[in-house]
């Protein structure tokens, strides 16, 4: 095998396997979407099944389309220093019992096909709690379409949310 071909295949394999969290996340989303559409109801999506480490809670930061999310904005909820979040990227901060944080990044959920929407727990009628406990990450996954890869995917935690399964309109 020529060296150029070997190098290309090695880099391709490395790139594909670098973000196994992202691969697992979107694979599980796809499986959930298919099962939700077939059963015509929500299905379980357990975020903890995608991690190979223990954690107690998670802070999920959604990136923007055109400008990075400034570290200072994230640090308000994270309560420690971090870096800016690049455009078209989402970041998961998994907090462990020893207060260590494990960070995972994925391609932005809203620019993925289909787009993925994680609902957060409401504190009152207009404010939400940014951190989700491990138990709250046992989401009910539901598609708002009757066809795969059309519409969006919604993840509902077991708490009061702004958008609800009942308020979701399913279309062709």
Q: Give domain status of residue 13, yes or no.
A: no
Look up the domain containing 148 and give its range.
20-156
Q: Give domain status of residue 11, yes or no.
A: no
Q: Report the pLDDT value the prediction gives residue 8, as an integer from 0 to 100.
A: 35
| Spans of the chain, pLDDT less than 70 | 1-18, 170-172
Q: Give domain status of residue 151, yes or no.
A: yes
Q: How many domains does the structure of the chain reveal?
A: 1
Cβ contact 86:80 at 8 Å: no
Q: Give domain status of residue 145, yes or no.
A: yes
Q: Report the pLDDT value the prediction gives residue 104, as an integer from 0 to 100.
A: 98
Phi, psi of 43 (to 5 degrees): -130, 160
CA atoms within 13 A on the CB side of 65: 3
Hey, what's the torsion of the CAs at 26, 66, 57, 96, to 10 degrees?
100
Q: Give domain status of residue 10, yes or no.
A: no
Q: Give domain status of residue 108, yes or no.
A: yes
Q: Give domain status of residue 107, yes or no.
A: yes
Q: Give domain status of residue 119, yes or no.
A: yes
Q: Report the pLDDT value the prediction gives residue 17, as an integer from 0 to 100.
A: 44
Interval 58-74: pLDDT, tens:
999 999 989 999 999 99
C-alpha angle with apex 19: 57 to 133, nearest 5 degrees?
10
Interval 26-60: pLDDT, tens:
999 999 999 999 999 999 999 999 999 999 999 99
């Amino acid at each position: 095998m020529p060296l150029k071909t070997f190098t290309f295949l090695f880099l391709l394999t490395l790139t594909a396997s670098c973000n196994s969290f992202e691969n697992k996340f979107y694979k599980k989303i796809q499986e959930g979407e298919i099962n939700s559409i077939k059963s015509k109801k929500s299905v379980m999506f357990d975020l903890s099944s995608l991690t190979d480490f223990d954690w107690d809670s998670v802070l999920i930061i959604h990136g923007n389309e055109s400008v990075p999310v400034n570290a200072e904005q994230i640090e308000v909820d994270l309560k420690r220093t971090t870096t800016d979040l690049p455009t078209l990227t989402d970041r998961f901060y998994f907090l462990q019992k020893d207060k260590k944080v494990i960070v995972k990044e994925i391609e932005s959920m809203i620019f993925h096909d289909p787009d993925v929407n994680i609902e957060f727990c409401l504190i009152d009628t207009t404010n939400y709690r940014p951190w989700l406990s491990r138990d709250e990450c046992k989401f009910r996954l539901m598609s708002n379409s009757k066809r795969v890869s059309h519409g969006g995917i919604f993840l509902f935690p077991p708490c009061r949310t702004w958008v609800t399964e009942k308020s979701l309109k399913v279309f062709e």
